[in-house]
Copies of this chain bind each other. A is one copy, B any other.
Amino acid sequence: MIGGMGAGSRGGGGRGSVTPTAAGTVVVLVGEWITEGRLAPGDKVSETWVAAESGVSRNTVREAFRLLEHDGLLVHEPNRGAFVPQVTPLDVRDIYRVRRVLEPAVVRGLTELDVPRMQALTAAVDAARSAAARQDWPHAGSANMRFHRSLVALAGSVRLDATMRRLMAELRLVFAVVEHPAELFGPFVERNARIADLLLSGRFLEAATALETYLADSEDAILTAFSRQELTA
């Protein structure tokens, strides 16, 4: 038994389900602190502090840090400590460059209707719709990412999935900064729905081009929201 704990397993949120281990608990915990803004970009995250805060040993915290590093949620500078990455517009462009390579290629490579797997797409679209209706932009953003991860999952490649997972984790970092404005997710929910429809009707090439313009516009939206944010800061 550890310290007070109290948090316990979260079940719903994370996909990986590494929670039975203490290091895994710290991973989701610190992950939430980062994406929820308690830890701001550029902040140093002290091992001792996290150890005290989460009630686990410093050594276990170190292990958790390696995992978070793995997902790009933490950067490690030797002998200096772990920091919440300072995401720059350049990073956004880099992330989207990879997305523009990966996602359309996956869609263009599809040959048959994998209906069961595609249901994840419509589920994500539905979730995004209802979240958007509630003006719940954080959840709309999560549903959005779930959509695109499910889209890449259609390729059935574990390595592509892993890459996409990391990209989305880094994107979440961006959203933690830009105050989730409606313009960032609102206009894109229906465009995802359109892409899902195209996929479900087997019109893969049309879906791919729709996806390409989607990504270009999404990148622009984030970039402008980003620069607006930087001015006020």
Residues of A within 8 A of B (CB): 20-21, 59, 62-63, 66-67, 70, 78, 94-95, 97-98, 101-102, 105-106, 109, 155, 157-160, 163, 166-167
> Which residues from chain B contact A78 at a C-beta distance below 8 Å?
20-21
Known: A63-B63, A66-B70, A97-B157. 9 other contacts (CB 8 A): A20-B78, A63-B66, A94-B158, A94-B159, A98-B159, A98-B160, A98-B163, A101-B101, A159-B167
Q: Which of B66, B97, B158 contacts A160 (CB 8 A)?
A: B97
8 smallest CB-CB distances across A and B, nearest first, come from A66-B66, A101-B105, A98-B159, A70-B70, A94-B157, A94-B159, A163-B163, A97-B157
Q: How many copies does the complex hold?
A: 2
Contact A157 B63 (CB under 8 A): no
A-B contact pairs, 14 of them (CB 8 A): A20-B78, A63-B63, A63-B66, A66-B66, A94-B157, A97-B160, A98-B157, A98-B159, A101-B101, A101-B102, A101-B105, A101-B109, A159-B166, A163-B163
